[in-house]
Structure formats: C-alpha cells, structure tokens
Amino acid sequence: MTDQVGNSEQEPLPKIDTSVPHSARIWNYWLGGKDNYEVDRVAGDAFREIFPGIETGARAARYFLARAVRHLAAEGGIRQFLDIGTGLPNVDNTHQIAQRVAPESRIVYVDNDPLVLAHARALLTSTPEGVTNYVDADLRDPSAIVREAGKTLDFEKPVALMLMGILGHIEDHDEARSIVRQLVDALPAGSYLVQYDSTDTSEEYVRAIQQYNDGGSIPYILRSPEQIARYFDGLELLEPGVTSCSRWRPDAEALGLPAEVHQYGGVALKR
C-alpha cells in the first residue's frame, strides 16, 4: 500500500459547470457552507419554499454520519473508512471524526465532481499516524473504486463503507443494489456498511425533488424506507435498524432535531 494516491494533484481539474445547480453544492448551501454558486442558492431556496424541512433533514443526515463514524471507530474498532460520494468539505468530515478517536485511521474519499476535486487538498489532511486520500472515480464503477482505494486501504482488514445520500443518483433501484453488493463483496468479514438516502415519505418532498429534477440537474430519486433497507440485504443491522437519521442512536448533537426526518439510514455488519 502507498500513503499518497495523488490523483487530485496530477490530473488537470475539469471545468466546473455553473449553469445548472448541483446537488453537492446545494447541500453545502443548506448546511451553511460557502462552496456554492448563485444558481445553487436559487435552486436551494426554491426547494425550501416547497419543502421547508430540508435544512433540518440535511443537519440530521450530517449528524448521523458523525455518530456512525464515532461509533465504528470507538466501539467497532474500525480503522479504515471508504467514503464514496464525499461531497464538499464541511465541519467534521469523516477523517477528522475517525482520527479524533483513533489517530491511526486511514480514510479514502471517492467522488467525481469537479468542485469536490478542486477542494481535495482540504480533504487531504491527516494526523501523522494516519492517512487520508482522495480517489476521482464514479460510483457506477465499483471495481475501479476498490482498485484505487486498495492503494491506501488494506482490504484484508475491516473497512467501513460509507454511501451517504448518493444512491438516489442511481435511477434504477436494482442497479443501485447491485453497486452496493459489489462494493460489500470486496470487503472482508468484520466490515460495515453505513448508508442513508432521502425518502418519499413526504408529499412536499416529492414535489420539491420533481421540481429539482426538472431543472436539468442530475436527477435524484426518492425511495421508500423499505427500498433503502434492501441495500443492507445479507448484513446484520445494528439497532435501531433502518430509521429516520435523527432516530439513529441520538446524542447531544441531535438535540433540537425532530424525531422524524425524511432521510433514512442504518449501519450494518458483514459477518
């Protein structure tokens, strides 16, 4: 294994399209970030007019990520994290949370968004004992992800696979499940899947997503909680199972969030 993949520095940055809104940038806007453009803010505001709860859901999903990573690092003994669909850097990214618990943790981020690639250096920070790297790859090519991540991670030791809010961009549910299966199959026993996506449990959310998809952005497909649960087939779900993100082992971070948000997720062990 090598400590530096270096693709963020060796490849020329693709052109960032600012003519249409982008989900990662809109999500960044809802979370209070600054890595977005006017087109994203307009789309985000229009979405919020139809579905005012979106910012609450975004925070709940972010806190779910933090709790899951802390749990796996502190109680699960996980020292390797493969975070696919990274999105833009925010407060307390996966490597910061994991390395706060276990400084020797190794983290690989995967994304193929030009703006995320441009911010890769902000992600490529690490404790001296650990490693953080970035892979420019598409979720639809699991074999390439595993191959490139294997330059940093040891796939003979447990890995936490994180698919946070990304599978909705795979329009066909069977294809999304197949991608998850291929990625999980590459992991050894003792690994975990951490996953959440937005659900069709609100009529207003469904309308807001339809407007967003009609605007020319890469479509995002809302799915039922039951469909999200299928991503964990063959794995052992940790309590409380697949649930509203704010209900997954809430702690002080979750204070003030409603018990029910329309982002559902879970954490599961591969035996």
pLDDT of residue 19: 80
pLDDT of residue 191: 98
pLDDT of residue 15: 66
Confidence of residue 2 (pLDDT cuts 50, 70, 90): very low
pLDDT of residue 31: 87
pLDDT of residue 3: 40
Averaged pLDDT of the chain: 90
Express each pLDDT in 225-247 by its tens digit: 999 999 999 999 999 999 999 99
Task: Please spell the DSSP secondary structure of the chain, one letter per residue.
Answer: --S---HHHHSPPPPP--SS--HHHHHHHHTT-S---HHHHHHHHHHHHH-TTHHHHHHHHHHHHHHHHHHHHHTS---EEEEES--S--SS-HHHHHHHH-TT-EEEEEE--HHHHHTHHHH----TTSEEEEEE--TT-HHHHHHHHTTTS-TTS--EEEEES-GGGSSSHHHHHHHHHHHHHTSPTT-EEEEEEEBS--HHHHHHHHHHHHTTSPP---B-HHHHHGGGTTSEEPTT-SEEGGGSS--GGGTTS-S--SEEEEEEE--
pLDDT of residue 7: 39
